[in-house]
Amino acid sequence: MSICCVVGLGYIGLPTAAVLARAGHRVIGVDVNAHVVATVNEGRIHIVEPDLDQAVAAAVASGSLSAHLTPATADVFLIAVPTPFCSGADGIPQPNIDYVLAAARAIAPVLRPGNLVLLESTSPVGTTEQVAVLIFEACGLSSEQLHIAYCPERVLPGRILQELISNDRVIGGLTPAAAEAGKAFYASFCQGELLATTARTAELVKLTENSFRDVNIAFANELSLVCEHLGINVRELIRLANHHPRVNVLQPGCGVGGHCIAVDPWFIAAAAPHCTPLIQSARRVNDGKSRWVFEQVQARATDLESQLGRPVRIGCLGLAFKPDVDDLRESPALHITTELLVAGLDVLACEPNLLDHPTIKLHELEQVLAEADLLVFLVAHSPFKGLDLTGRNVFDLCGVTEQV
């Protein structure tokens, strides 16, 4: 087995480090956050993911996983750092790969001939090539001495530990030899099919997967607006439509969040703005759904206030971007709740997967149910299912009150 240096101990890097350690590798975890490093070295975790706490505790206790602030010599280097976006021209956000390039600079001094460097961060097309240029210039090695490849993660939060092992992987090498080296490494812990291609193709594969989902969710979100206008239950509509053997409409929500689906389509649009009207439109439909929800909550609160003859309290249930995780990245639920607070409304926010939030006061579910006049379900967290809501004013954006 190999010595693996995993750079970035976040939502992907830490579970990957735990899986590698369990597969028999010696893992050096690296993060720039000293608190994260200390937490991991204590055998604890700083994120919410089922079974991750036990996996990390076991890996640290066995000595197969340790965390550090800087990289060390290893056989395999795996980069799993954020790739956010920033504002750009023509309303198209631009990808920011500064963290990826910083990680490449950090590992360059400890690279040796024969090493394998894998980029897993979701990246715009051409990023792996930029990483290679930076590394080759910094360490003096060549593509014959160093294998560099791109292999995007494709896991679902809440199922990361299972899907890191079971999902197929696309491995794009800068050279055929790099792709094969990547396949050999992933074969040490992956049970899914390992598919070799070029780095550029692999980069676009990941962006395509999430853009496909974004476009389909936009269709569902647009249907939800149509159904609201026509007085039709959108979830019943979709359930019945999906009985067609070649139809599979996804479910609407209060928008689209997470670091992948809400971000990746812009990476394609930024690279080819004149070729992507559908992708850009889908992004705007999904972002616009959050604004529609905000306006709907305001209107419902105003109507209820006139009925009650007093100010109303709004219970916002869920802040994360998806059910049963603590991940707030690009969360439409968090955005909606923040906008309601900024608008001066009396909001009781509940996020059962967080202990606190830097700007929003969190409340227990029992208090929100007891004190809120209008319950707005933004995320279908498990604790929100099966509640007795008889006689309550409910605005359900995630279908949680319809689940049995």
Q: Please give the radius of gyration of the chain, using alpha carbons only, rounded to the nearest integer.
A: 23
Q: Choose the CATH number for 3-198 among 3.40.1280.10, 3.20.20.80, 3.40.50.720, 3.30.1240.10.
A: 3.40.50.720
- What is the token pair recorded at 265? 């389509």
- Tell whether the model's pLDDT for residue 404 goes beyond 80: no
Tens-place pLDDT, residues 329-380 = 999 999 999 999 999 999 999 999 999 999 999 999 999 999 999 999 999 9
Per-residue confidence band for 67, with pLDDT thresholds at 50, 70 and 90:
very high
What is the average pLDDT score of the chain? Answer: 96
- Tell whether the model's pLDDT for residue 151 goes beyond 70: yes
Is the pTM here over 0.95, yes or no?
no
- What is the token pair recorded at 303? 């109507």
Q: Choose the CATH number for 249-402 among 3.40.50.9100, 3.40.50.720, 3.40.50.2300, 3.40.50.12280.
A: 3.40.50.720
Per-residue confidence band for 130, with pLDDT thresholds at 50, 70 and 90:
very high
Per-residue confidence band for 76, with pLDDT thresholds at 50, 70 and 90:
very high
What amino acid occupies position 126?
Answer: G
pLDDT over 90 percentage in the chain: 92
Strand bridging mode 94-95 / 85-86: antiparallel
- Tell whether the model's pLDDT for residue 384 goes beyond 70: yes
Closest CA to 204 of 92, 125, 118, 274: 125
What does the domain layout of the chain look like in residue ranges? 3-198, 249-402
pLDDT, residue 301, reads: 97
Per-residue confidence band for 124, with pLDDT thresholds at 50, 70 and 90:
very high
- Tell whether the model's pLDDT for residue 299 goes beyond 80: yes
d(CA 383, CA 209): 30
Tens-place pLDDT, residues 256-295 = 998 889 999 999 999 999 999 999 999 999 999 999 999 9
Phi, psi dihedrals of residue 394, rounded to the nearest 5°? -125, 135
Tens-place pLDDT, residues 216-248 = 999 999 999 999 999 999 999 999 999 999 999
pLDDT, residue 48, reads: 84
Neighbouring residues of 303: CB distance < 8 A, sequence distance ≥ 6: none
76 within 8 A of 102, measured Cβ to Cβ: no
Q: Cα separations (Å) of 116 from 196, 349, 400?
A: 15, 46, 45
pLDDT, residue 403, reads: 65
pLDDT, residue 278, reads: 97
Q: What angle do CA 366, 370, 371 make, to 5 degrees?
A: 120
Q: Among 46-50, 191-195, 208-212, which stretch is predicted with the lowest mean pLDDT?
A: 46-50
Q: Among 96-110, 152-166, 227-241, 278-292, which stretch is predicted with the lowest mean pLDDT?
A: 152-166
- Tell whether the model's pLDDT for residue 381 goes beyond 60: yes
Region 39-64 average pLDDT: 96
**How many helices, marked H, and strands, marked E, lie in the chain?**
13, 14
DSSP H or E segment with residue 130: helix 127-139
The H-assigned helical ranges of 140-276 are 160-166, 176-186, 199-230, 234-241, 264-271
Q: Cα separations (Å) of 41 from 5, 58, 66, 201, 372?
A: 15, 11, 6, 37, 42
What amino acid occupies position 161?
Answer: L
d(CA 18, CA 243): 40
Asked if the domains at 3-198 and 249-402 fall in one CATH topology, the answer is yes
Per-residue confidence band for 389, with pLDDT thresholds at 50, 70 and 90:
very high
- Tell whether the model's pLDDT for residue 87 goes beyond 90: no
- Tell whether the model's pLDDT for residue 215 goes beyond 90: yes
Region 61-68 average pLDDT: 98
DSSP assignment of 3-68, as one string?
EEEEE--STTHHHHHHHHHHTT-EEEEE-S-HHHHHHHHTT--SS--TTHHHHHHHHHHHTSEEEE
Other C-beta atoms lying within 10 Å of the C-beta of residue 280: 17
Closest CA to 250 of 260, 267, 265, 237: 237
Q: Which positions are annotated as active-site residues? A: 206, 260
- Tell whether the model's pLDDT for residue 91 goes beyond 90: no
Closest CA to 43 of 30, 56, 52: 56
pLDDT, residue 385, reads: 96
pLDDT, residue 86, reads: 80
